[in-house]
Amino acid sequence: MRSIALALFALTLATPALAGPLDPPTGPVTSTGKTLTEVEPRIAINSANTPGDTDATPCLFKITQPGSYYLTGNVTGVINKSGIEVAASNVTIDLNGFELVGVTGTASVHGIYATGTGLTNISVRNGTVRNWVGYGVNLSPTLVSRGEVRGVRSDSNATGGFFLHSYFNVTDCSAASNNGIGFFAVNSCNFSRCTAAGNVGNGFATSGGHTLTECVSYGSTAGAGFQCGTETTMRDCSSHNNAGVGVFVGTGSTVSGCTVRSNAGVGIAATGATYIHHNSCTANGVGANGAGISISGANARVENNHCAENARGIETSSTRARIDGNSCVSNGVSFVINGTDNLVIRNTASGGSPNYSIAAGNSVAPRVGVEDSDGWAGITNANHPWANFGH
């Protein structure tokens, strides 16, 4: 084996090494590297690339062409100017982890502000916008549509955190300590994992067709947690310690899997044709002013919710609602059904005084008073499949 290895080694030494030609090719010498634009195919936001103006909407920086733009450091505003004005469609602004900060004494201006008519596809990402007299991020006044806001904090602004118009995706954003609304949206936006904290106005205020998933609103000092319009879909959200209603939704909305606690007003308030199910509503309402869930319109479904320690558990003044499979514990009154033609079935109630207060003209399954397990077999209607229980 040793002799074979030595032979192979000798053969390697004897083989000539191959290399490229020593003479350079004919013609001019050209660079094989990448240009700066190829290395960083974006545009820095600065006075050279995006100079501001002093027109009717004065600004520190102005974006007038489509493209991808980014900050290179923190920016502090100047008196009577917005921070970044967007006057073109198809624009992405990456704050790059930096802050855009307003200054005291500024007139009603915004951190990031859209102008022009009918702009589309504007995105803002990854940074903080704070201390502006207007909104931190205002992408609504010119009917901006189909954009994205991701990973942006909008804090301590005098008018509000975010103002958006139509068809925005808003993800992983927060609005805190604004002297107005945290998130304000007009048409059919999608909010995911957003938080409103300690704002003076509503945490979230939306009109029609919005979806909110895993969002949180707490500590609004003079407003509701979520004040939402028609055709709203809310899933797995949390609303607590707000000065107004925890959640309000308009006609045709769905609220599911939400936790609503310790709001000064009603926990969940809804109008007609809404579907309110699998929510937990606890300790809402000041004195006799609050209910866990309150329905005011016709044709609602209120199913499989848990309400505890509210002035009233579940109440409705509506017609043709289905109140089914809910649990109410230790409320002042468990169920208050003042409307007509409602169906009340398969609910349980404990600790109410009374547990069931139901007006005439409603369809109610037998109400069964359960005192203890020893007498279960002798309780009238205890085996009724749709019975409402009280204990």
180-224 per-position pLDDT tens digit: 999 999 999 999 999 999 999 999 999 999 999 999 999 999 999
Give the model's pLDDT for residue 380. Answer: 72
Closest CA to 203 of 186, 188, 218, 189: 218
Dihedral (CA of 372, 375, 379, 383) sign:
positive
- Assess whether pLDDT exceeds 80 at residue 35: no
| SS3 (DSSP) at 384 | coil
> What is residue 374's DSSP assignment?
G
> What is residue 229's DSSP assignment?
-
Half-sphere exposure of 357 (CA within 13 A, CB side): 16
Task: Give the mean pLDDT of 357-375.
Answer: 82
End-to-end Cα distance, the chain: 93
* Cα–Cα distance measured from residue 300 to residue 278, given in angstroms and rounded to the nearest whole number: 14
**Please, which pLDDT band fits residue 378 given cuts at 50, 70 and 90?**
low
Half-sphere exposure of 111 (CA within 13 A, CB side): 32
Structure tokens at 91: 């624009």
- Assess whether pLDDT exceeds 70 at residue 280: yes
Structure tokens at 374: 């020893």
pTM: 0.88
Structure tokens at 178: 């604004």
Write out pLDDT tens, residues 140-170.
877 899 999 999 999 999 999 999 999 999 9
Give the model's pLDDT for residue 371. Answer: 65
- Assess whether pLDDT exceeds 90 at residue 257: yes
Give the model's pLDDT for residue 373. Answer: 53
Task: Give the mean pLDDT of 243-259.
Answer: 98
Range in 137-141, 281-285, 320-324 the model is least confident about:
137-141
**How far is CA 24 from its chain centroid?**
62
Give the model's pLDDT for residue 388. Answer: 87
Give the model's pLDDT for residue 57. Answer: 86
Q: Which residue has the tokens 């958006």?
A: 164
**H/E element holding 12?**
helix 2-14
| SS3 (DSSP) at 154 | strand
- Assess whether pLDDT exceeds 80 at residue 4: no
Name the average pLDDT for the chain.
90
DSSP bridge pairs for 101: 76, 130
